[in-house]
């Protein structure tokens, strides 16, 4: 917890905890909505890639994303290793979705032949 969010002394720790948890709940909700939007975009990327025979993963793009996020994390005083692990976790799931879309497109193309 950052020192500025918690004064040295508080009169009512239970209320302080409740208030902090309220903010945590708002942040968690925002994270879910942002992740849902990100996955909506990556589903479209997955369909585009499958349609044009592009590979699901793009390691060069990932390297650039990791470098950018690590820098952003440092600026935001977030652990860059954690930021990288989080991005890699999300991207692994995206690649899984891309592969599933490509497989189902291939199956559909096979049925039409």
Ligand X SMILES: O=C(O)C(=O)C[C@]1(C(=O)O)C=C[C@@H](O)C=C1
Binding residues for ligand X, rule: CB under 6 A, are: 42, 45, 57-58, 61-62, 65, 91, 94-95, 98
Query: Which CB atom, from 58 or from 84, has the smaller least distance to ligand X?
Result: 58
- Output the six-digit token pair for 100: 């599933």
Query: Which CB atom, from 74 or from 96, has the smaller least distance to ligand X?
Result: 96
Closest separation between CB of residue 27 and ligand X, Å?
22
Closest separation between CB of residue 32 and ligand X, Å?
17
- Output the six-digit token pair for 93: 């799931």
Using an 8 Å Cβ cutoff, are 83 and 69 in contact? yes
Ranked by CB distance to ligand X, the top (closest) residue is: 94
Query: Which CB atom, from 78 or from 95, has the smaller least distance to ligand X?
Result: 95
Spatial separation of the C-alpha atoms in residues 71 and 29, rounded to whole Å: 25
Query: Which CB atom, from 52 or from 77, has the smaller least distance to ligand X?
Result: 52
Please enumerate in sequence order all residues whose Cβ is within 8 A of that of 69, keeping only pairs 6 or more positions apart, or say none: 80, 83, 84, 87
Closest separation between CB of residue 101 and ligand X, Å?
11
Continuous H helices in 1-113? 13-51, 59-75, 80-112
């Amino acid at each position: 917890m950052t020192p500025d969010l918690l004064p040295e002394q508080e009169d009512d720790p239970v209320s302080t905890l409740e208030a902090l948890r309220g903010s945590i709940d708002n942040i968690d909700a925002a994270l879910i909505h942002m992740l849902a939007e990100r996955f909506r975009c990556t589903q479209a990327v997955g369909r585009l890639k499958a349609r044009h025979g592009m590979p699901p993963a793009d390691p060069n793009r990932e390297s650039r994303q990791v470098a950018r996020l690590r820098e952003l994390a440092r600026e935001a005083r977030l652990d860059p290793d954690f930021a990288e692990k989080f991005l890699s976790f999300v991207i692994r799931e995206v690649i899984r979705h891309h592969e599933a879309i490509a497989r189902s497109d291939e199956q559909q193309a096979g049925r039409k032949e």
